[in-house]
């Protein structure tokens, strides 16, 4: 029997075992993906790329990798007869993903062989080999590659070019492909830096969202959680489960299935009165700080139910003005500044307006322009006429003399004045004044709002100093002078 026939015979005898091993590894990849939101793009096996869905490497290519004499032992030890690729977004997540995959597969008796290796030839990837110790695939091995989306795309293109039937590939082309791969890796490393900067900024902003949420839940939940526990143990249990899931997900990784189950239960349980009064608070806890991504849409559903209930039940003692006033804050803590501003305006022009005295309506207007200022800083408008409209709107609200009589708003008012100068200041001096106002505003904050004020200050300062140095770095306009000294 020829060596090629021996390889084909080995593959035929073990095809079912190899196929089962691939399925086990892919299932483990899916489990890891579910528990690492936003890290994995997709996972696939060699069968997805080869004609007919064949999982095993071609027999001739297998034979090329083995030094004579050919034995079944050498074939069994070959690491890449089958293979699985995990495509990730950022290269520095590769080792974490591999550790998690190893933990999942280890429970099935499939463990790493040797240390993982970084491949940096035609493409960059982390390679690891797993060996099964039991079942239908005992002793068989599977190679796992972990690479980024860009490297995956490039390796696919390079594979198509390399294996075209045009003879041996020119060494110069191999070098050129390797050089392009290195350039891609340079881009990937830059993307890590950009991600870290964005995440650092995001963490500053979400501190403010989370601090306000904790205060809001404390105020609204006071005296109401015990009746909730007594009237609906299921809703009270949901409250506790959200707290547990948030604590477990502090690093940004969470169980998507558990989260979706909680959201579905809130939607079902709180669809009818009287629990409709609590559905939006439960979803606010879920949505706060963007820990579980953008949950503004689910929050909107609960808010709309609550507003409908409030409109139809004006005599309900739970529907105090401070409760309704917190509706825009719910969107704020969810990071949806646009909806937060929209609901401030909506509350002052709806059937609920009669619940608010003049001071409360003033506060709603004030909160609206503050949310819009923060939104303008985060996502500047391109339409200059809209920007001027916003500026005039903010100036009108901040110029209202009634603010001087509202002691409870002194700190927040000074903070918004400072933010206005940071966003619209045209000179370094104006922006510097805005920074100083924001800093001073914290000293005026009452004890109950100190945490929120300090959390807001951190990203106000970052925003302020970035704009300050941007304006400082701008060169002064050059005005040429004539020989007589006149402009």
Enumerate domains of the chain plus CATH numbers. Answer: 3-169 (3.30.460.10), 198-356 (no CATH), 357-474 (no CATH)
Rounded distance between C-alpha atoms, residue 456 and residue 449, angstroms:
11
CA 216 to chain centre: 24
pLDDT at residue 301 in the model = 94
pLDDT at residue 45 in the model = 95
pLDDT at residue 253 in the model = 77
- Determine whether 242 is exposed, middle or buried from the number of CB atoms within 10 Å of its CB (0-12, 13-18, 19+): buried
The DSSP bridge pattern shows strands 117-120 and 83-88 to be: unpaired
pLDDT at residue 158 in the model = 72
Prior bond of 274 cis (ω within 30°) = yes
Phi-psi region at 82: left, alpha or beta (left = phi > 0; alpha = psi -120 to 50): beta
**pLDDT digit of tens for each residue in the chain (487 aa)?**
799 999 999 999 999 999 999 999 999 999 999 888 778 999 999 988 877 789 999 999 999 889 989 998 999 999 999 999 999 999 989 999 999 999 999 999 999 999 999 988 778 899 999 999 988 899 999 999 999 999 888 888 776 555 544 444 555 666 777 777 778 888 888 777 766 665 655 565 666 777 777 777 776 665 556 666 666 788 888 888 998 998 888 777 788 889 999 999 999 998 888 788 888 989 998 998 888 888 999 999 999 998 888 888 877 777 777 788 889 989 988 889 999 999 998 888 766 666 778 888 888 899 999 999 988 887 887 788 888 999 999 999 999 888 777 787 889 999 999 999 999 999 999 999 999 999 999 999 888 778 888 888 887 888 888 888 888 876 544 444 444 455 4
> Looking at the DSSP assignment, which residues form a beta bridge with residue 359?
none
pLDDT at residue 205 in the model = 62
Judge contact between 80 and 143, C-beta under 8 A: yes
Helix (H, G, I), strand (E, B) or coil at 172: helix
> Looking at the DSSP assignment, which residues form a beta bridge with residue 130?
112, 142
pLDDT at residue 211 in the model = 73
pLDDT at residue 418 in the model = 94
285: which 2 tokens? 């806890």
pTM for the full model?
A: 0.66
């Amino acid at each position: 029997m020829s060596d090629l026939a021996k390889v084909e015979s080995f593959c035929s005898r073990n095809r079912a075992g190899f196929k089962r091993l691939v399925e086990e590894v892919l299932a483990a990849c899916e489990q890891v993906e579910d528990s690492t939101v936003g890290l994995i793009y997709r996972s696939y096996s060699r069968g997805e790329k080869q004609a007919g869905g064949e999982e095993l490497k071609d027999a001739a290519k297998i034979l090329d990798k083995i030094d004579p004499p050919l034995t079944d032992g050498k074939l069994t030890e070959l690491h890449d007869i089958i293979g699985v690729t995990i495509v990730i977004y950022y290269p520095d997540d590769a080792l974490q993903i591999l550790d998690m995959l190893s933990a999942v597969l280890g429970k099935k008796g499939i463990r790493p062989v040797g240390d993982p290796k970084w491949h940096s030839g035609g493409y960059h990837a982390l390679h690891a080999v797993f060996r099964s110790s039991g079942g239908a695939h005992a002793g068989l091995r599977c190679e796992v590659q972990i690479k980024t989306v860009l490297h995956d795309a490039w390796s696919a293109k390079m594979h198509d070019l390399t294996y075209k039937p045009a003879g041996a590939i020119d060494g110069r082309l191999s070098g050129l492909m390797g050089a392009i791969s290195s350039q891609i890796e340079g881009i990937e490393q830059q993307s890590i830096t950009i991600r870290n900067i964005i995440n650092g900024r995001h963490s500053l902003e979400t501190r403010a969202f989370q601090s306000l949420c904790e205060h809001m839940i404390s105020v609204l939940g006071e005296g109401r959680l015990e009746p909730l526990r007594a009237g609906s143990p299921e809703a009270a249990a949901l409250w506790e489960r959200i707290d547990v899931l948030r604590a477990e997900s502090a690093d940004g990784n969470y169980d998507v299935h558990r989260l979706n189950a909680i959201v579905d239960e809130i939607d079902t349980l709180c669809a009818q009165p009287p629990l409709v009064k609590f559905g939006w608070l439960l979803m606010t806890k879920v949505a706060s700080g963007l820990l579980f991504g953008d949950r503004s849409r689910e929050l909107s559903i609960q808010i709309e139910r609550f507003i409908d209930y409030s409109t139809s039940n004006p005599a309900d003692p739970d529907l105090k003005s401070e409760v309704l006033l917190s509706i825009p804050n719910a969107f704020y803590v969810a990071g949806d500044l646009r909806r937060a501003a929209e609901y401030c305006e909506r509350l002052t022009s709806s059937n609920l307006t009669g619940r608010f005295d003049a001071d409360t309506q003033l506060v709603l207007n004030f909160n609206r322009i503050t949310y819009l200022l923060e939104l303008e800083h985060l996502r500047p408008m391109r339409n200059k006429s809209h920007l001027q409209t916003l500026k005039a709107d903010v100036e009108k609200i901040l110029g209202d003399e009634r603010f001087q009589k509202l002691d409870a708003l002194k700190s927040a008012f000074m903070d918004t004045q400072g933010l206005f100068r940071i966003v619209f200041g045209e000179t370094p001096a104006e922006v510097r004044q805005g920074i100083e106002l924001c800093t001073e505003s914290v000293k005026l904050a009452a004890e109950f709002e100190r945490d929120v004020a300090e959390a807001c200050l951190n990203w106000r300062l970052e925003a302020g100093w970035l704009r300050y140095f941007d304006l400082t770095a701008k060169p002064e306009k050059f005005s040429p002078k004539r020989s007589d000294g006149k402009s």
